[in-house]
Amino acid sequence: MTSRFSTLQNRDLRPQRPAEAAPVAHHAVVIPTTRKPVAPKAEAAPGKNTNKVLDARVRIHRMLLEEINLVALER
Protein backbone atom coordinates (compact mmCIF):
# COMPACT_ATOMS: atom_id res chain seq x y z
CA MET A 1 0.00 0.00 0.00
CA THR A 2 1.44 3.35 -0.98
CA SER A 3 0.69 6.68 0.52
CA ARG A 4 2.06 10.14 0.27
CA PHE A 5 4.44 9.35 3.14
CA SER A 6 5.94 6.21 1.58
CA THR A 7 8.78 8.20 0.00
CA LEU A 8 9.66 9.58 3.41
CA GLN A 9 9.81 6.10 4.90
CA ASN A 10 12.06 4.84 2.09
CA ARG A 11 14.35 7.82 2.36
CA ASP A 12 16.41 6.13 5.08
CA LEU A 13 17.21 3.25 2.71
CA ARG A 14 18.96 5.49 0.19
CA PRO A 15 22.71 5.98 0.67
CA GLN A 16 23.67 9.29 2.16
CA ARG A 17 25.87 11.75 0.34
CA PRO A 18 29.47 11.86 1.52
CA ALA A 19 30.22 14.75 3.82
CA GLU A 20 31.80 17.70 2.07
CA ALA A 21 35.34 18.50 3.10
CA ALA A 22 35.60 21.62 5.23
CA PRO A 23 37.68 24.41 3.72
CA VAL A 24 41.18 24.57 5.13
CA ALA A 25 41.40 28.33 5.61
CA HIS A 26 38.60 29.98 7.54
CA HIS A 27 37.92 33.56 6.54
CA ALA A 28 36.05 36.06 8.62
CA VAL A 29 32.73 37.22 7.28
CA VAL A 30 32.89 40.86 6.27
CA ILE A 31 29.66 42.76 5.84
CA PRO A 32 30.14 45.99 3.91
CA THR A 33 28.44 49.05 5.31
CA THR A 34 27.22 52.10 3.50
CA ARG A 35 27.72 54.32 6.52
CA LYS A 36 30.70 56.56 6.75
CA PRO A 37 32.70 56.30 9.96
CA VAL A 38 31.90 59.26 12.17
CA ALA A 39 34.39 60.59 14.66
CA PRO A 40 32.86 61.30 18.08
CA LYS A 41 32.27 65.00 18.61
CA ALA A 42 34.13 66.55 21.48
CA GLU A 43 31.85 68.96 23.30
CA ALA A 44 33.63 72.22 24.00
CA ALA A 45 31.41 73.34 26.85
CA PRO A 46 28.89 70.78 28.07
CA GLY A 47 27.82 73.16 30.85
CA LYS A 48 26.47 75.70 28.36
CA ASN A 49 23.89 73.30 26.98
CA THR A 50 22.67 72.25 30.40
CA ASN A 51 22.46 75.87 31.51
CA LYS A 52 20.33 76.73 28.48
CA VAL A 53 18.00 73.84 29.18
CA LEU A 54 17.78 74.71 32.85
CA ASP A 55 17.06 78.37 32.08
CA ALA A 56 14.35 77.40 29.62
CA ARG A 57 12.73 75.07 32.15
CA VAL A 58 12.77 77.75 34.84
CA ARG A 59 11.21 80.30 32.47
CA ILE A 60 8.45 77.88 31.48
CA HIS A 61 7.79 77.03 35.11
CA ARG A 62 7.49 80.71 36.05
CA MET A 63 5.14 81.38 33.14
CA LEU A 64 2.91 78.48 34.18
CA LEU A 65 2.81 79.67 37.78
CA GLU A 66 1.78 83.15 36.66
CA GLU A 67 -0.92 81.80 34.34
CA ILE A 68 -2.43 79.34 36.79
CA ASN A 69 -2.45 81.71 39.79
CA LEU A 70 -2.50 79.09 42.53
CA VAL A 71 -3.72 81.56 45.16
CA ALA A 72 -6.97 82.07 43.25
CA LEU A 73 -7.45 78.31 42.88
CA GLU A 74 -7.16 77.69 46.64
CA ARG A 75 -10.12 79.96 47.46
Does some domain include residue 20?
no
Quick one: pLDDT at residue 58?
Answer: 94
Does some domain include residue 16?
no
Does some domain include residue 71?
yes
Mean pLDDT of the chain: 73
Positive or negative, the CA dihedral 10, 13, 15, 17 is: positive
* Tally of structural domains, the chain: 1
Quick one: pLDDT at residue 72?
Answer: 72
16-20, 22-26, 27-31, range with the lowest pLDDT: 22-26
pTM metric for this prediction: 0.32
H helix runs in 1-75, sequence order = 6-10, 46-68, 70-74
